[in-house]
């Protein structure tokens, strides 16, 4: 599907500019239909669990397809933090490998899960960012034979910095450490192929660039990995047969479903499958080229208006976000929102994120309004 056709699936663009996929992707006509199908099935069929579970599998399949994985290696979880919990629990920090390497542009919730592994022996080390960039060299210097797990986001939520995941992962593997990639801020717009990524675990949730709703996330686990302790957070959907109904038997599924817990969020499954079906009808390489070109223009134009970048200005370090510093980020975002332009403030920065549905007109509108804001607050 081409960009223009893709955009037509998102009614918000009839009267608004959506530049906040880093927070929540735009609602598509396809997701509206899917969620109303869920409501209709509930109203007319009372408890159609079989077809609802098929929808969960459809979401799993769409995610697997997106990252070039086998669906049996994908667990459906409730949120990225839950996926991270399973990754931490899968490691043994007591046998000479105690270190988790992460960084201070990590999404806090994921970092919190690493910190919460300290009572199990984990020693968490943060690689520092400098001017919004985490240097490859600093990451590499933090990796040695005492490292159990290296956590590398695909893209930072804070400013869109795109990590050199493969370069870091290769070094981690050289030292026998495992690699977890939080792909939440890139999956859907940055091509991911688990066959070449050198990761052991990939986590993503469905609500941002995957164009679904809150309530569902995915954990891909490299096939053949030797698991640690059986997950302490579990439930019937982690059993080899969830419908065996045997309370005394705690077996774990042989595939990635071992990391699942209880009843999945069915409405979110409808949204996730529908959202990702749109992405899977595009070529994500083409999507990334499209958004990179828009980001080039946006970056250049906002700088010309006197804004300073928090996102990296180098193309090879930039994800789908252009982020500018703003002392009063909330105020600026409100100003834009009142003019139907949706961006995402975080602290003293305003994040403007791009998806395949964005076009040059969106850039034009936001830049013009940012200039107006500048003029209205100046004197
Ligand atoms: C990089 C990244 N990871 C994880 C999350 C969310 O984690 P969870 O699904 O546990 O709320 C976000 C949400 O903003 C994120 O940007």
Reported as a single tens digit per residue, the pLDDT across 137-185 is 999 999 999 999 999 999 999 999 999 999 999 999 999 999 999 999 9
Mean pLDDT of the chain: 97
| pLDDT digit string, tens, across residues 231-289 | 999 999 999 999 999 999 999 999 999 999 999 999 999 999 999 999 999 999 999 99
| Ligand 1 center to 184 CA (angstroms) | 6
pLDDT of residue 371: 96
In the chain the domains, ranked by start, together with CATH numbers, are 3-27+283-377 (3.90.1150.10), 32-279 (3.40.640.10)
Out of 24, 87, 107, give the residue to mutate to test ligand 1, the one with the largest number of ligand atoms within 8 Å of its CB: 107
pLDDT of residue 3: 98
- Residues pairing with 177 in the sheet: none
| Ligand 1 center to 106 CA (angstroms) | 10
Q: What is the share, in percent, of the chain residues with pLDDT greater than 70?
A: 100
204 lines ligand 1 (CB under 6 A): no
d(CA 6, CA 356): 7
Out of 110, 113, 209, give the residue to mutate to test ligand 1, the one with the largest number of ligand atoms within 8 Å of its CB: 110
Stretch 300-329: mean pLDDT, rounded?
A: 96
pLDDT tops 70 at residue 379: no
109 lines ligand 1 (CB under 6 A): yes
Stretch 338-358: mean pLDDT, rounded?
A: 97
Q: Which atom of ligand 1 lies at the shortest distance from residue 153's CA?
A: 1
pLDDT of residue 268: 98
- Write out the H or E segment, with its range, that includes residue 100: strand 99-103
Q: How confident is the model at residue 378 (pLDDT cuts 50, 70, 90)?
A: confident
What are the angstrom distances between the C-alpha of 255 and each of 16, 51, 108, 139, 225? 43, 22, 29, 31, 10
| DSSP 3-state of 131 | coil
349-353 and 344-346 beta bridge pairing? antiparallel
Q: Which atom of ligand 1 lies at the shortest distance from residue 185's CA?
A: 1
Q: What is the pTM of this model?
A: 0.97
202 lines ligand 1 (CB under 6 A): no
Residue 243 CA from chain centroid, whole number: 31
| Ligand 1 center to 160 CA (angstroms) | 13
Helices (H), the chain: 3-7, 29-45, 49-66, 80-89, 108-115, 136-141, 165-174, 266-279, 284-304, 329-337, 360-377
| pLDDT digit string, tens, across residues 80-135 | 999 999 999 999 999 999 999 999 999 999 999 999 999 999 999 999 999 999 99
81 lines ligand 1 (CB under 6 A): yes
133 lines ligand 1 (CB under 6 A): no
| pLDDT digit string, tens, across residues 190-203 | 999 999 999 999 99
Buried b (16+ CB within 10 A) or exposed e, 114-144: beebeeeebebbbbebeebbbeeeebbebbe
Sign of CA dihedral 49, 54, 55, 59: positive
């Amino acid at each position: 599907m081409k960009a223009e056709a893709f955009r037509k699936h998102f009614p918000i663009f009839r009267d608004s500019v959506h530049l906040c996929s880093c927070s929540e992707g735009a609602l598509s006509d396809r997701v509206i239909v899917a969620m109303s199908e869920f409501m209709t099935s509930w109203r007319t069929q009372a408890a159609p669990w079989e077809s609802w579970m098929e929808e969960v599998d459809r979401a799993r399949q769409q995610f697997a397809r997106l990252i070039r994985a086998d669906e049996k290696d994908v667990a459906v979880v409730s949120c990225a933090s839950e996926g991270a919990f399973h990754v931490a629990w899968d490691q043994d920090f007591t046998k000479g490998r105690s270190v988790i390497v992460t960084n201070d542009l990590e999404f806090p919730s994921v970092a919190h899960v690493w910190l919460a592994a300290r009572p199990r022996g984990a020693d968490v080390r943060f690689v520092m960012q400098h001017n919004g960039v985490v240097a490859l060299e600093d990451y590499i210097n933090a990796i040695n034979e005492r490292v159990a797990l290296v956590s590398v986001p695909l893209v930072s939520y804070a400013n869109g910095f795109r990590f050199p995941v493969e370069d870091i992962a290769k070094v981690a593997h050289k030292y026998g450490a495992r690699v977890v990639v939080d792909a939440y801020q890139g999956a859907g717009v940055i091509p991911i192929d688990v066959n070449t990524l050198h990761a052991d675990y990939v986590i993503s949730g469905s609500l941002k660039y995957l164009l679904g709703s809150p309530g569902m996330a995915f954990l891909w686990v490299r096939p053949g990995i030797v698991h640690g302790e059986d997950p302490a957070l579990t439930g019937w959907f982690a059993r080899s047969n969830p419908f065996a109904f045997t309370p005394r038997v705690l077996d774990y599924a042989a595939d990635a479903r071992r990391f699942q817990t209880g009843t999945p969020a069915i409405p979110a499954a409808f949204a996730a499958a529908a959202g990702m079906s749109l992405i899977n009808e595009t070529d994500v390489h083409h999507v990334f080229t499209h958004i990179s070109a828009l980001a080039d223009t946006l970056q250049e134009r906002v700088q010309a208006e006197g804004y300073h970048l928090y996102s990296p200005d180098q193309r090879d370090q930039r994800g789908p976000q252009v982020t500018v510093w703003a002392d009063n980020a909330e105020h600026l975002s409100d100003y834009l929102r009142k003019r139907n332009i949706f961006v995402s403030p975080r602290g003293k920065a305003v994040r403007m994120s791009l998806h395949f549905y964005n076009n040059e007109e969106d850039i034009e509108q936001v830049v013009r309004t940012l200039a107006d804001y500048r003029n209205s607050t100046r004197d």
